[in-house]
Amino acid sequence: MYIRCTAVQKELPRIQNYIGGRFVSPIGGKYLDNIEPATGQPYSLVPESDARDVEAAVEAAETVFPEWSRTPAAERSRILLRIADLIERDLEKFARAESTDTGKPLALARSLDIPRASSNFRFFATAILHTENEAHVTDGIAFNYTLRQPRGIAGLISPWNLPLYLLSWKIAPAIAVGNTAIAKPSELTPMTAFLLCEVCREAGLPEGVLNIVHGTGPEVGAAITGHPKIGTISFTGGTVTGRKVAEAGAPLFKKISLELGGKNPNIIFADADFDAAIAGSVRSSFANQGQVCLCGSRVFVERASYEEFVRRFIERVAQLKQGDPLDPETEQGAIVSKMQLEKVKYYVELAKEEGGRIALGGERGPSPNDRCRDGYFFPPTVITGLPVACRVNREEIFGPVVTITPFESEEEVVRYANDVDYGLSSSVWTQNLSRAHRIAEQIHAGTVWINCWLVRDLRVPFGGMKQSGVGREGGEEALRFFTEPKNVCIAR
């Protein structure tokens, strides 16, 4: 649901597109309201760009590509390191902007989102200085080596839940290896991408290497995925949108990476370190109001410990401090949009119809303060008693809602864990090492965390199976995705 700007709101600060190193208004002159989720009120305007703005970005990116792709890696690295430093210098400004734009707690933006954005630039800035090319000797006949070259213009499309964290996770590897890029942040959370452009300019990133075009998915996103000159698409978002991106890119033979939705299992065995499992499960259920694609929204607990787990888990969740996201003490902020809030409420009602018991939460409480009286708040909600195969246990809610289900055996819980269309991540809590390895082998997910959650080493492959995506990002995988391998074969 987009909210077009009204005459009264015309005086709100305007975010601008960043094309060819300049801040520009959308060619069509149209803007959308950018709503602060904590208040439900518009606080800035975001360009409602269209295909013409994307075309201008393509021209800028195409013009500078020959120069940027030939720029020595050491120089590209230096500029990216400078970007990382400047994000760190402006951490407070970025964190406040991210919190205001998304409704996430300021403390989370300060400790996770913005430091990670800086790390993304730093990581790929140095990664390109340490890569190796393969060589293959063909017995007495030839010698082969692999050239990995930038592919041209990369289209980078990201969602609203971790705006700068995820956009920089795409921008950094794409431009580090010598591509130019056109990025489209979510229209719901455009602010930190806008601030990033200032930082890129200050860092000396040449004009046109990074272009940011703001607007909706059907207009700007579709113009990017359908543009014949944008041969590489890295997309993170929902599975339904991912399908559209694949449909648009496939006939043009684009190289596409899709990081999509999840319905991740969080499995607790009776032999787990219970304190750690409960603390970890509270985080994996409700971090960022449950709006992390990696959240463990389906908790499975071995029968022998089920009652104790539910009791202690609920006690801990009830202590989470919901409040104004800008209050540094707040642990649970607002849901990103009215539409997302309605979706969460819908699934809680559905859970009741499907036989679930609302063990905690389920209804909006009082507003944290007067400023937030119209904000999109929903309390952490815990549901028990649902059948494993019901819709609430199979469909992605992407909000502060978890279900808890008992299981009897390893074999049974693996079946439960895998019985969804998604396969993004999973957590297993057990002290039994052999069991941990056995389960890790059997679970259909791109990531299996054992006795932890959201430990993210930037070198490891990241992505999903089944409807959670196609391809992997992170470390070497990202460097490979954003380059074209060319075999050079020399006869002896």
Q: Does 184 bind ligand NAD (CB under 6 A)?
A: yes
What is the smallest separation between the CB atom of 46 and ligand NAD, expressed in angstroms?
A: 11
Q: Is 445 in the site for ligand NAD (CB under 6 A)?
A: no
By beta-carbon proximity to ligand NAD, the closer residue of 278 and 443 is 443
17 vs 430, beta carbon nearer ligand NAD: 17
Strand partners, 406: 301
Q: CB of residue 241 vs ligand NAD: minimum separation in angstroms?
A: 3
Residues that contact ligand NAD, how many (by CB under 6 A)? 31
Q: Where are the beta strands (DSSP E) in 247-375?
A: 255-259, 265-268, 298-302, 357-360
Choose one: 65-73, 181-189, 325-333, 433-441; the region binding ligand NAD (CB under 6 A): 181-189
Burial code of 318-340, b = ≥16 C-beta within 10 A, e = fewer?
eebebbbbbbeebbbbbbbbbeb
Question: Does 26 interact with ligand NAD (rule: CB under 6 A)?
Answer: no
Q: Which of 5, 197, 293, 372 is catalytic?
A: 293
Query: Is residue 259 annotated as part of the catalytic site, yes or no?
Result: yes
With contact defined as beta carbons under 8 Å apart, do 293 and 261 qualify? yes
Q: Which is nearer to ligand NAD, 2 or 43 (CB)?
A: 2
CB of 341 to ligand NAD, least distance (A): 13
217 touching ligand NAD, by CB under 6 A:
yes
**How many Cβ atoms sit within 10 Å of the Cβ of residue 450?**
16
Window of 6-14, 117-125, 182-190, 299-307 that interacts with ligand NAD by CB under 6 A: 182-190
Q: Which one, 259 or 327, has the nearer CB to ligand NAD?
A: 259
When asked if residue 238 is in the footprint of ligand NAD (CB under 6 A), the reply is yes
**Interface with ligand NAD includes 424 (CB under 6 A)?**
yes
3-state secondary structure of 334: coil
Burial (0-12, 13-18, 19+ Cβ within 10 Å), 259 = buried
245 makes contact with ligand NAD (CB under 6 A): yes
Q: Give the chain's end-to-end CA distance (angstroms, integer).
A: 63
98 binds ligand NAD (CB under 6 A): no
Does position 218 interact with ligand NAD (CB under 6 A)? The reply is yes
Contact 380, 400 (CB under 8 A): yes
Residue 407 β-bridge partners: 302
Whether 88 sits among the annotated catalytic residues: the reply is no
CA neighbours within 13 Å on the CB side: how many for 47? 27
Q: How far is the CB of 446 from ligand NAD (least distance, A)?
A: 8
- Distances in Å between the Cα of 140 and the Cα atoms of 133, 135, 481, 489 are 21, 14, 32, 13
Render 471-483 in DSSP notation, one character per residue: S-BSHHHHHHHTE
- Quick note: the x/- pattern for ligand NAD over 262-281, rule CB under 6 A, is x-------------------
If one asks whether residue 163 binds ligand NAD (CB under 6 A), the answer comes out as: no
Which structure tokens are listed for 130?
């340490």
Cβ nearer to ligand NAD, comparing 362 with 474: 474
Tell me the closest approach of the beta carbon of residue 128 to ligand NAD, in angstroms: 23
Q: Is residue 274 a contact partner of residue 309, using CB atoms and an 8 Å limit?
A: yes
Ramachandran area for residue 394 (φ above 0: left; ψ -120 to 50: alpha; else beta): alpha
Structure tokens at 207: 């004009």
Taking the least distance from each CB to ligand NAD, the nearer of 216 and 285 is 216
464 near ligand NAD, judged by CB under 6 A: yes
- Give whichever of 187 and 331 is closer to ligand NAD, judged by the CB atom: 187
- Asked if residue 154 binds ligand NAD (CB under 6 A), the reply is no
Residue 377 Cα distances to 307, 335, 366, 385, 447, angstroms: 29, 6, 9, 25, 30
* Residues in contact with 23: Cβ distance below 8 Å, sequence separation at least 6, in sequence order: 16, 17, 197
What residues act catalytically?
259, 293
Residues that bind ligand NAD (CB under 6 A): 157-161, 166, 184, 186-187, 216-218, 221-222, 225, 236-238, 241, 244-245, 259-262, 293, 396, 398, 424, 464, 469
